[in-house]
Structure formats: structure tokens, C-alpha cells
């Protein structure tokens, strides 16, 4: 792994940090009142993709497992949201969609683990999940009656029970923000649990975890299921923001998006995905805006720049933004400590 920066076990939240967190939450509750619709959409996307990034980090950062089919769950969540809300736009149908994506993700994650974990090896697992992702996307493209094929499936709002939560951009912003907070706490609790500790051990050396008495296959299956459910939920909430589902959300591009978010933010840091999502989403939007004002065709392909940026980041800041910050902080702390030791008068 590029970084060993990670959440520390048993770390009780300290008061100053809790105050800072409360202040940050307050800021994010107030600022949308002064935002335009486009900014609200961008922020909502950042929140949801951050959760999607975290779902990927559970696998990549905490288990060392590369899943190139993560978009299966994200895309299914988007479809589930659009299909159920198109039946009836109310909270009950949204809850039914959530229940369905939960069950589908648990089953899908379990089945995927049974297929993938038989292969052994990170590369083989990546290849198998890539193939699985493409199979699902192809099925979705041909199953036009349900998915709308390549044309996609728009969300038809009947403007009933869920107004303004789902029907206004401001409502959707708050919905996405609460979703981010809830999922961050849930996933944090998971990685700090004894199960999370075993996952980190597996990432470092699976054989060692086995001779400590852990059935590593079982733990990897748990990680895959948790990750799938989180990805599925983020897809479901994403459907409310984008109001549209198509097979792109099931494609490798969306899996790579999650990978990029995790790497840019810092693998194995969990919170890094929030920074990663902000950075990746913002830069994509920024480049598209620039294209609109300058009219340069090349700016229509933001992934070209994001990809180059990613290469630079991997070379110069392999631990990602949050990982880099912690490394810098550690370096500063060490420097301060050595300066203090040098200045201590001898007895």
C-alpha cells in the first residue's frame, strides 16, 4: 500500500474535534441558502460520490481487494431509485427501493464474493469483477423494457408527497448531506470494529491473519457485502439528484471514478473519499465550465486532465490528499519534537 495513514482504533473523539465537526456541519447547513442550483447539484453529487468512494475504500483500502465491478451496485441503486419512484413518488416507494437495493446488494455482494474469492490473487479478482461488471452492463443494455437500454430511464416527478425533499435542489442537497453524515458514521463504526481490524490484517498479510485463526474468506465476504450495500445506497440517492438512470452508471467508468476518488483522497483513510470526491467532481465541473466559456474541444474530455492529474498525484503524493496532509503533520510534529529536545537544557 502506498500509505499507512489510517483511522486509529479505539480513538475516542476529542472535544475540540467534535466542536470543529459541529462547526463544519453548521457551515454546510447554512451555505446552500446562498447557492445557485448548479452549485447545489455539484455539492449534492460530491456528498453522494464521497459515500460511493468510501464504499470502494472499504474494499481497496481496508482489504486490499480491487473490485472493478463496483459500479454494478452503484448503477443498480440508480436504476432501483428511478424505477420505484416512477411507480409512485412517495416516501414508501423510496423506502421500498432502499429495501430492494439492500437485499439485492447483499445477495449480489455474496454471489460476487463466492465467484471472486475462489480465484485467489488480487489481479485475478480484478479481472473477474471487470468481466462481471461488463456482463451486467450488457444485460442492462439489452433489457430495454426495464432499463430503457442506452436511452436510459428518466425520473418522472409527479410532485406529490416528497416535495420539497426530492423535487427541489435545496431539498436534495440536504437529503444528500444527511446521507453523507449517516453513512460516514456507519462506515466509520464498521472499520473501527473488530471486523474492521481483521480486514486491515488481511490487507497486510492474509496468511498471517489465517494462522491467527481468522477465516479470511468470510471476512472478505463481509467487506464485499458492506461495500456493495454502501455503493447501492449511494446509487439510490444519486438517482434523486440526477433524476435519470442509464447504463453508464453500471460501466467501468463509474467504477474507475470510485477508484479515482479513493486514490485522490487517500486510500485506507475513509474520510479521504470526501476530499477525493470534492476534488474530482469540482475539477470535472470546472473543466466543463471552462469549455463553455473558451470553447476548446479538448476541455470536453475532463477525464483526460483528471487522469493526468492522477498520475502526478500518484508520483508526488501517493498517500492522497488526506494521507499527504497527515504525513506533513507527522513530519512537522517530529521536527517540533526534535527542536524541543535540542533546546532542553542539560541537567
Partner 1 sequence: MQPLLKAENIVSYIGPYTILHDVSLEVTRGEAVVILGRNGAGKTTFLKTIMGLVHTRSGVLEFDGETLVDKETHVIQRKGIGYVPEDYGIFDLLTVEENMRIAMWKEDPETKERCDWVLDLFPDLKLAYKRFAKTLSGGQRQMLSVGRALVNNNRILLVDEPSKGLAPVIIETLAGALKEISKTTTVLLVEQNFAMACAVGQRFYIINEGKTVESGTMADLIQNKELQAVHLGI
In the complex, the residues that contact partner 1 under the rule CB under 8 A are 1, 4, 6, 9, 194, 197-198, 200-201, 204-205, 207-216
Q: List, in sequence order, every residue forming a beta bridge with 153; answer none if it has no partner.
A: 245
**Residue with smaller CB distance to partner 1, 188 or 210:** 210
Question: Taking Cα atoms as reference points, which of 104, 147, 133 lies closest to residue 245?
Answer: 147
Compute the radius of gyration of the chain from its Cα atoms.
21
**Residue with smaller CB distance to partner 1, 16 or 194:** 194
d(C-alpha 128, C-alpha 203), whole Å: 19
**Residue with smaller CB distance to partner 1, 119 or 217:** 217
**Nearest distance in Å: CB 328, partner 1:** 18
Classify the phi-psi angles of 268: left when phi > 0, otherwise alpha if psi is within -120 to 50, otherwise beta: left
The secondary structure of the chain in percent helix, strand, coil, rounded to multiples of 5, reads 80, 0, 20
d(C-alpha 249, C-alpha 155), whole Å: 15
**Residue with smaller CB distance to partner 1, 208 or 336:** 208
> Angle, to 10 degrees, between the axis of helix 37-60 and the axis of helix 272-294?
140
**Residue with smaller CB distance to partner 1, 120 or 345:** 120
d(C-alpha 114, C-alpha 68), whole Å: 16
**Nearest distance in Å: CB 334, partner 1:** 12
Which grid coordinates belong to 115? 465467484
**Chain CA centroid to CA 27, Å:** 22
**Residue with smaller CB distance to partner 1, 194 or 345:** 194
Amino acid at each position: 500500500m502506498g500509505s499507512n495513514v489510517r483511522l486509529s482504533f479505539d480513538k475516542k473523539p476529542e472535544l475540540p474535534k467534535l466542536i470543529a465537526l459541529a462547526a463544519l456541519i453548521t457551515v454546510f447547513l447554512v451555505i446552500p441558502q446562498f447557492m445557485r442550483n448548479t452549485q447545489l447539484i455539484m455539492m449534492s453529487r460530491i456528498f453522494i460520490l464521497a459515500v460511493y468512494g468510501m464504499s470502494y475504500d472499504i474494499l481497496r483500502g481496508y482489504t486490499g481487494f480491487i473490485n472493478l465491478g463496483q459500479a454494478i451496485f452503484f448503477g443498480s441503486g440508480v436504476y432501483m431509485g428511478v424505477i420505484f419512484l416512477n411507480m409512485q413518488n412517495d416516501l414508501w416507494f423510496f423506502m421500498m427501493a432502499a429495501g430492494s437495493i439492500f437485499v439485492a446488494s447483499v445477495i449480489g455482494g455474496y454471489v460476487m464474493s463466492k465467484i471472486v474469492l475462489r480465484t485467489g490473487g488480487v489481479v485475478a479478482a480484478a479481472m473477474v469483477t471487470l468481466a462481471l461488471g461488463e456482463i451486467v452492463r450488457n444485460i442492462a443494455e439489452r433489457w430495454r423494457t426495464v432499463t430503457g437500454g442506452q436511452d436510459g430511464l428518466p425520473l418522472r416527478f409527479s410532485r406529490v408527497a416528497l416535495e420539497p425533499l426530492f423535487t427541489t435542489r435545496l431539498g436534495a442537497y440536504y437529503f444528500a448531506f444527511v446521507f453523507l453524515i449517516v453513512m460516514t458514521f456507519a462506515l466509520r463504526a464498521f472499520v473501527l470494529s473488530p471486523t474492521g481490524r481483521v480486514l486491515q490484517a488481511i490487507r497486510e498479510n492474509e496468511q498471517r491473519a489465517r494462522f491467527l485463526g481468522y477465516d479470511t474468506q468470510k471476512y472478505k465476504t463481509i467487506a464485499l457485502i458492506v461495500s456493495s450495500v454502501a455503493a447501492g445506497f449511494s446509487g439510490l440517492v444519486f438517482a434523486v439528484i440526477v433524476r435519470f438512470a442509464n447504463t453508464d452508471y453500471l460501466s467501468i467508468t463509474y467504477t474507475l471514478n470510485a477508484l479515482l476518488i479513493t486514490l485522490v483522497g487517500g486510500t485506507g483513510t475513509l474520510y479521504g473519499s470526501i476530499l477525493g470526491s470534492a476534488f474530482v467532481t469540482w475539477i470535472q465541473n470546472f473543466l466543463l465550465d471552462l469549455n463553455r466559456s473558451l470553447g476548446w474541444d479538448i476541455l470536453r474530455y475532463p477525464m483526460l486532465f483528471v487522469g493526468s492529474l492522477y498520475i502526478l498525484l500518484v508520483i508526488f503524493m501517493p498517500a492522497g490528499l488526506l494521507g499527504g496532509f497527515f504525513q506533513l503533520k507527522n513530519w512537522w510534529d517530529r521536527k517540533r519534537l526534535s527542536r524541543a529536545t535540542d533546546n532542553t537544557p542539560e541537567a
